Amino acid sequence: MNKTHNTQKAKKYGMVIDLDKCTGCGACMVACMAENNVPFKKDETNKLDSITWMHLYKLTNGKAFPETEICYLPRPCMHCEGAHGHPPCVSVCPATATDYDHGTGIVSQIYTRCFGCRYCMGACPYHARYFNWWDPVWPEGMKEYLSPNVSPRMRGVVEKCSFCFHRYQLAMDKAYHEGRKELEEHEYQSSCTQACPAGAITFGDLNNPDHQVHKIARPDNEHGGKPSATNVFRLLERLGTNPKVYYMSSREWVRRLGDNYLPHEKTGEIALGKQKGHH
Amino acid sequence: MDSALLPKGVKRCSFPQFSIGILIVGAVLLWGVYAMLLCWFKGLNQTGMNDSYGFALWIWADLAVIALGGGAFFTGLLKYIIGKDELKNIINFAVVIGFICYSSALLILAIDVGQPLRSWFIFWHVNVHSMLAEVAFCLSIYFSVLAIEFVPLLLENRKLDEVPFFHNLAHNMHEVMAVFAATGAFLSCFHQGSLGGVAGVLFGRPFAFREHLLVWPWTFFLFTWSAAAYGPCFTILLTKITEGITRKKLVKDNVVDLLAKISGWMIASYMVAKLIDTWYWATVTAPSRGLTFMQFYSDGNGLYTLWIIVAELVVGGILPALILTNKTLRANKSMLLLAVILACIGVCINRWVMVLQVMAHPVLPFEEWFAYMPSWQEVATTILPVAYGVILASLAYRYLPVFPQERELNPVNG
């Protein structure tokens, strides 16, 4: 957590999800599960103990027909930066089984070190962390189809979205082999991004002004990465989690559901300076 | 049958009668052990927990027994450091209760983690930023201190005391007990506090999060304070229960009165701090996160509504404080009993909300309150330490001179 890093070359991988484009098809979820060897049960009806690194929420404006509107909100791990690389989950893990990588901005999970105390799950306000309540049981023959790049997890440990970190490693391996130290934007993309048929997900380096994610979200790093683009917001911005997943929607009610507001407060007008206290 | 092991000059029930009692409680213990083995061998799918309720009944039980067991460190502090010598007549029992509570907490933690065999990672790969790491370190070391404090009492068993080495060891350990009491108090301040910090640092959970003083959230100090305040109430309550079961007076009234008075003023001062904390959280901290006070008490399932904060702060806090700080009310046996029962319930509710209400409250605006129902395995493993505690306390009472005033208060004829 305290390792030194070269801030000049540091990446900050993140995502922008256009909620006006998302159709709720679930392709991102399926792609994520296949890519990351996410285990599943015979009966997945209880969503509270099913593992979905990419989870799809269905939002509604709460109005009666014909004014009813719905919006689907895909929710991966937010890879929060918190204040100075202290996401809610990383600072609480007693065994350093989860870490914030200052080189990529990715919050990692070390499955073989996690001993299953679940404190990180309690700390995450996005419910992005999942516990393996069971050992994974793969249907006949499916083991042959598991990805060799992602280690399957055992019972009793926590897992979560890694922004397909193995893809980053593979891309970096290739780049090194070719004598490069930097990746092209297209070389590292998460599986959900590539699977989305509507092109709702954009992935890249938020620190790189040439990357689409930066152009769309225009993160203000002077103010904890707060988006300066119109209609772009982050979930629970005012908690100070400093997430790296941005959302955009032209609909005000959708943006308002992205955070908690007092009745008199206007959507998007949050005084971040009021937050203090956590370290 | 076991008369040679019983303390001199006191009366105990017959061995068969004692054995039957132990067997009945032992059956409950075995039920808990069975549930524990299920959790260990089949995994935590045996529980009612889920991904939204990662902390539940067990963590509450941990926090509750540690708060209630706080009587050991605080009574030790009063007796050995502050010099309230009368408390020597109840300190043994406080240590026994503390030992039971802390060993229970460690046992529950061992069941609660998903990979128990990796529990040592918390020490080996420690993250110094984690409150849970601080809990693990202080709790383990303090449990060792409690075990050391328990040793002289064990050695005072009639048979063991006949061995000169044990007799002298017990005597010498008594001589240096102030050192262990001071160490225990120091460690307790940190682990009780860090248990409060476990909730208070959760800046992603507005119900739990509190402003910080240096690196510690307010809950750090509130938990230490409340354990010191409420712990002695549990010691008094169990003393009264033991007196009821044995049908004997075991501790003189002036000793209980002193402990009750100190506890009362501690609860009163804690309540002032807690009310200020609650007010600040409700009017400043929570609104800065876009939430109103009532949003935390609007559980559609009815569990987390205003009644719970009234039960915690008024019924389980202000009321016992009023009774225990009033000499006349305190002297009334029924009122005293009522006060210590309410106090124990009050601190248990506090620990409950700081664990379960934190999990139940939906932080994302488009989520609903989360519900949780413990499985029988969770209930059984939570009752397991209670059964274990009853057995250990019974054995301690039967074979060790736990209550120094027992002989004087209950002279045996002939």
Is residue B138 domain-resident? yes
ipTM of the complex: 0.92
Q: What is the dihedral of CA B310, B311, B313, B314, to 10 degrees?
A: 80
Task: Give the chain B residue nearest A118 (alpha carbons).
Answer: B54
Q: Given a cut of 80, is residue B298 above it in pLDDT?
A: yes
Mean pLDDT of B138-166: 90
Is residue B414 domain-resident? no
Q: Name the residue among B55, B124, B289 with its Cβ closest to that of A238.
A: B289
Average pLDDT, chain B: 93
Mean pLDDT of B50-70: 94
Is residue B175 domain-resident? yes
Cβ–Cβ below 8 Å for A115 and B132 = no
Q: Is A129 on the interface with B (CB under 8 A)?
A: yes
Find, among B282, B348, B289, B292, the residue nearest to B317 by Cα. Answer: B348
Q: pLDDT tens digits, residue range B211-233?
A: 888 888 999 999 999 999 999 99
CATH number of the domain where residue B133 is located: 1.20.1630.10
Is residue B261 domain-resident? yes
Cα(A119)–Cα(B358) distance, rounded to whole angstroms? 12
Residues of A in contact with B211 (CB under 8 A): 276-277
Tell me, what's the pLDDT at B393? 95
Position with higher pLDDT, B281 vs A271: B281
Is residue B413 domain-resident? no
Residue B316 near residue B342 (C-beta atoms within 8 A): yes
Q: Given a cut of 60, is residue B276 above it in pLDDT?
A: yes
Q: Where are the domains of chain A?
A: 13-269
**A140-174: b or e for each residue (b if 16 or more CB lie within 10 Å)?**
eeeeeeeeeebebbbbbbbbbbbbbbbbbeebbee
List the domain range (segments joined by +) for residue B168: 3-408
Low-confidence ranges of chain A (pLDDT < 70): 1-8, 271-279
The whole-model pTM stands at 0.93
Tell me, what's the pLDDT at A9? 75
Residues of A in contact with B50 (CB under 8 A): 46, 48-49, 133
Is residue B284 domain-resident? yes
Q: Per residue, what are the HEC states of A8-45?
A: CCCCCEEEEEECCCCCCCCHHHHHHHHHCCCCCCCCCC
Cβ–Cβ below 8 Å for B50 and A48 = yes
Number of structural domains (chain B) is: 1
> Which three-class secondary structure state does DSSP give residue A156?
coil
Task: Give the chain A residue nearest B208 (alpha carbons).
Answer: A123
Cβ–Cβ below 8 Å for B130 and A93 = yes
Q: Name the residue among B112, B131, B366 with its Cβ closest to that of A257.
A: B366
Tell me, what's the pLDDT at A272? 52
Tell me, what's the pLDDT at B30? 98
- The pLDDT-based confidence of B292 (bands split at 50, 70, 90) is very high
Q: Is A24 on the interface with B (CB under 8 A)?
A: no
Q: Given a cut of 80, is residue B48 above it in pLDDT?
A: yes
Tell me, what's the pLDDT at B414? 52
Is residue B80 domain-resident? yes
Q: Name the residue among B55, B202, B295 with its Cβ closest to that of A88.
A: B202
Find, among B170, B156, B188, the residue nearest to B76 by Cα. Answer: B188
Residues of B in contact with A59 (CB under 8 A): 366
Tell me, what's the pLDDT at B103? 93
Tell me, what's the pLDDT at B3? 85
Mean pLDDT of B143-172: 91
Identify the CATH number of the domain defined by range A13-269. Answer: 3.30.70.20
Q: Per residue, what are the HEC states of A190-248?
A: CHHHHHCCCCCEEEEECCCCCCHHHHHHCEEHHHCCEECCCCEECCCHHHCCCCCEEEE
Is residue B373 domain-resident? yes
Mutation site, B39, B60, B202, interface A, largest A CB count within 10 A: B202
Tell me, what's the pLDDT at B81? 86
Distance to chain A for B213, nearest Cα, Å: 8
Give ∠ CA B127-B128-B129 in degrees, rounded to 5: 90
